[in-house]
Amino acid sequence: MRVLVCVKRVPAVAGRLTLTEDERALDTKYVGFQVGPHEECAVEEAVRLVEAHGGEAVVLTLGPAEAVEQLREAMAIGAARAIHLVTDGGDWDAESTAGAIVDAIGEDEAANGPFDLVLVGNEAADSGGYQVGARIGRALGRPVVTGIKALSVADGTARCEQESGGGRDVYEVRTPAVVAVLEGINLPRYPSVPGRIRAKSKPVASSSPARPAQRLELRRLVVPVTEAKQAQVLGKGAAAAPAVVELLASVGVL
Amino acid sequence: MATVLVLITTADGAPDKVALQALALGSQLAAGGAVHALVLGDDAVAAGLGAWGATNVHLARHPALDVPAPDAAARILDDLAGSLGAQFVVGPGTEEGNTILARSAARAGLPFAANCVSVTAGSPVAVTRSRWGGSLLEEAVINADRAVLTVAAHVIEAVESGGSASVTPFTPQLDDADLAVRVVGRVPAPAGGVSLTDAKVVVAGGRGAGSAEGFAPIVELASLLGAAVGCSRAVTIAGWRPHTEQVGQTGTKIAPDLYIAAGISGATQHLAGTKGAKRILAINKDPEAPIMTAADYAVIGDLAEVLPAISAEIRRRRGA
Ligand SMILES: Cc1cc2nc3c(=O)[nH]c(=O)nc-3n(C[C@H](O)[C@H](O)[C@H](O)COP(=O)(O)OP(=O)(O)OC[C@H]3O[C@@H](n4cnc5c(N)ncnc54)[C@H](O)[C@@H]3O)c2cc1C
Ligand SMILES: Nc1ncnc2c1ncn2[C@@H]1O[C@H](COP(=O)(O)O)[C@@H](O)[C@H]1O
C-alpha cells in the first residue's frame, strides 16, 4: 500500500499572539514550528497503515526551505521519503496549495504508481481552510471523506468513521481515496533517536512550484481584541475551599 | 442588491443553529435581493425558513438524501447556485457545512472562504475569517464572480424576520459518482457519561495533574457536581486521558455555566475551546499563568490539595 500524507509547517505559538510589521504573519522570533495536531495524527496513521499492510508512506509539504525539519520529523517516525514543494515563505491560499499538491501527486504517481490513500489534516492549524482534501479528491476524481476519527483499509475499501450526533457515521469508499483526519484518530508516537538518525539520510525530492494569483487573497491579519480580564483570587491552597463552594452555590451549580 | 443562496443543514427535524446564523448573514448580503435557502430532504424544516429571512425555499427530494452524502449535497448546491446566478453561496461553519461548501467550490472551480465572521459585498467581496480556531482573524478578498463561504459558528445572530417564503420541491439530478461517498452505517453513542458539549459544568485538568492517577481529584469533583471531565492537549498526548475529553481548537468547544480549569496554563489553542464558557475558575500554582487573564476567578495553589478540599467541603455542606 502506498500512502501520501500532506503536512503544513505552522508556528508553535501558545501565549499572546503578535504579528510581523506587515501584519501578514505571526511574529515567530521566539517560537518554534511544528505540524498541526491533525497532521501529526495523519502521519502516524500513514505509518501504521504501512506497518500493517506493507508498502511505503511518503510525506509532502508545501512550505519554506525550513519546512524540511517537519519532513524529517515525519521520516523519523517512519515515512520512507519526502516531497518538498519549496516556497519563499509567503502565504499560499488553500486552492493554490491543493493545485501544487495535485501536480506533485501526478508526477510521483507517473513514476511509482497510484497512492492508495492521500491523507490530509481536516483543516490546517493556522489558516483553517477546510478544503485542501476536497480539492485534491475532486482534481484526481477520487472519493474524499473528511472529519475522520477511525480508519481501516481492506480489499480496496477504506472504512472511515466520523463523529456525529453523539455516535459515529460510517463511510466506505473505494481506494484510491483521500481522507481528511482529525486529532484523536490515534496517539502519535515520539520519534526515537535511531529513527531521527535514519531520517537524516532519507531522500527529499524538492521543487519550486510557481505561486499562482491568489483568489482568496490575504490582505492582513488582526489579533482580535478580547476583554483583558484579571481573575478575582478566591484564596490560596486548601483554605480557599469554602470560598469556592460559596461560588458554586451562588452560580447555581452546586 | 444581490442573489444569495444559503445551505440549511438540519438535525432531528430542525435547522442547525449555525445554518440560521448563515441565513441571517445571507439576508444582509442580499440587501433586498432574493435570499434562497436550500434544504435537503427535510420538509418540516423547509416550511419554517421564511420566518428566518429566506424569501425562496428550495426543497431537494431524492431517495439518496436520507443519509449524509456530501458530494450529492455539493452538487445540488452548485447546480442551484448556477441556475439562480447567485453571487453568494453561504453555508454554516460546521464540519458538515464546511465539507459541503468546500466540495461545491472545488466542483465549480471557485475559491472558498471558511468560517467568516463578517462579509462585505463589493468587488471584490471582502471577508474577515477566523484562523487558529478564532484566536486570530484574517482579512481577505475573494477574487471571483461568486463568493462561496461559510459563517463561523455563533458570531452572527440568527434573526427572526417574521416573513414567509414559498417552498419549491424539486428532484435534483444526481449521478452514481455523486453518491460514492455516502454514510453506510452508524456506530451508536456510548451509553452514560455527561457530554462535554452540553455539560453545565466542566472540570478539567492539565499537565499540572502530573499523571493519569493525578486526575483522581478532578474526576471526583466532576462526579460530585454532575460535571463532564475535560483536559488539555498536553494531557491527551501524554496518554493520561482520551482525546474525547480534550477541550480546545482541535478538541471540543464547550459552553458550560462554569468551567473549572486545574493545572492548565491557558494556551490560546486551549482557550479557543472555552470562549462559550460563562465563567472560568482557574486553579493553578502560578499566579502569572496566562489563564489568569481569561478566568473570572482563581485559586492559587496545588490542585492535588485544592480539589480534594473543595470536594470535602461540598460533602460537608451536603451532609449538614
Ligand atoms: C494547532 C494547535 C492546536 C492545539 N489544540 C489544542 C487543544 O485543542 N487543546 C489544548 O488544550 N491545547 C491545544 N494545543 C496545545 C497548546 O498550545 C498547549 O500546549 C496546551 O494547551 C498546554 O496544556 P497545559 O496547559 O495542560 O500544559 P502547560 O502549558 O504545561 O501548563 C501546565 C500548567 O499547570 C500549572 N501547574 C503545574 N503543576 C500544578 C499543580 N500541582 N497544581 C496546579 N497547577 C499546576 C502550571 O503553572 C501551568 O500553568 C494546540 C496547539 C497547537 C499548535
Ligand atoms: N502548505 C501545505 N503543505 C502540505 N499540506 C498542506 C498544506 N496546506 C494544507 N495542507 C494539507 O491540507 C489540510 C487541510 O488544509 P486546509 O484546507 O488549508 O485547512 C492540512 O491539514 C494539510 O494536511
For residue A210, the domain's CATH number is 3.40.50.620
Spatial strand order of the sheet with A81-86 comes to A204-207, A81-86, A56-63, A2-6, A117-121, A177-181, A144-154, A157-164, A167-174, B183-187
Taking an 8 Å cut-off on Cβ atoms, the answer to whether B114 and A248 are in contact is no
User: How many other C-beta atoms lie within 10 A of the C-beta of residue A166?
Assistant: 11
Mutate to test the interface with B, among A39, A216, A230 (most CBs of B within 10 A): A216
- Within a domain: B309: yes
Atom of ligand 1 nearest to the CA of A125: 1
Do B115 and A220 make contact, defined as CB atoms within 8 angstroms? no
Lowest mean pLDDT among A108-122, B13-27, B183-197, B265-279: B183-197
CATH code, domain with B70: 3.40.50.620
What's residue B194's pLDDT?
A: 82
Place of cell 490515534: A186
Ligand 1 centre from B237 Cα, in Å? 11
Note whether residue B184 is domain-resident.
Answer: no
Flag if B112 and A94 touch (Cβ within 8 Å).
yes
Does pLDDT of B174 surpass 90?
Answer: yes
Find out whether B115 and B130 touch, Cβ atoms under 8 Å.
yes
- How many structural domains does chain A have? 1
Task: Classify residue A215: in a domain, yes or no.
Answer: yes
| Residue A122 placed within a domain | yes
Would you say residue B151 lies in a domain? yes
Q: What is the strand order of the sheet B112-120 is part of?
A: A216-222, B136-142, B125-131, B112-120, B147-152, B88-93, B4-8, B35-40, B56-60, B166-170
Question: Are A130 and B102 inside 8 Å of each other by CB?
Answer: yes
Domain that holds residue A74: 2-225
Length of chain A in terms of residues written: 254
pTM for this model (two decimals): 0.96
Q: Take atom 47 of ligand 1 and give the residue whose Cα is closest.
A: B286
Answer yes or no: is B187 within a domain: no
pLDDT of residue A15: 76
User: What pLDDT sits at residue A17?
Assistant: 86
Q: Nearest Cβ partner of B250 from A93, A183, A222?
A: A183
Residue A154 lies in a domain: yes
Angle, alpha carbons A59-A64-A68 (nearest 5°)? 40
Q: Return the ligand number nearest the Cα of B261.
A: 1
Q: What are phi and psi of A44, to 5 degrees?
A: -60, -45
Q: Which domain holds residue B20?
A: 4-179
Q: Which residue has the cell 505559538?
A: A13
Examine the predicted complex and report whether its ipTM is higher than 0.90.
Answer: yes
Say whether both B124 and B245 belong to one domain. no
Nearest C-alpha in B relative to A233: B298
* Domain count for chain B: 2
List of chain A residues whose C-beta atoms are within 8 Å of the C-beta of residue B114: 123, 128-131
User: Is the pLDDT assigned to residue B195 strictly greater than 90?
Assistant: no
Q: Which bound ligand lies closest to the C-alpha atom of B302?
A: 1
Q: Do B162 and B14 share a structural domain?
A: yes
Q: How many residues in chain B? A: 320
What is the pLDDT confidence band of residue B320, given thresholds at 50, 70 and 90? Answer: low
Query: What's residue A151's pLDDT?
Result: 98
Q: Verify that B113 and B207 share a domain, yes or no.
A: no
Give yes or no: residues B9 and B133 share one domain: yes
Rounded to the nearest integer, the mean pLDDT of chain B is 96
**Nine-digit cell at B193?**
457519561
Residue A182 reports pLDDT greater than 90: yes
Q: Are residues B87 and B136 in the same domain?
A: yes
User: 3-state class of A168 per DSSP?
Assistant: strand
Count of A–B CB contacts within 8 Å?
261
Ligand minimally distant from the alpha carbon of residue A9: 2
Contact call for residues A241 and B312 (beta carbons, < 8 A): yes
Please tell me which residue of chain A has the smallest CA distance to B132.
A126
- Say whether both B39 and B174 belong to one domain: yes
**Cβ-Cβ contacts under 8 Å, A228 against chain B:** 293
**Contact present, A191 and A76 (Cβ < 8 Å):** yes
Does any domain span residue B186? no
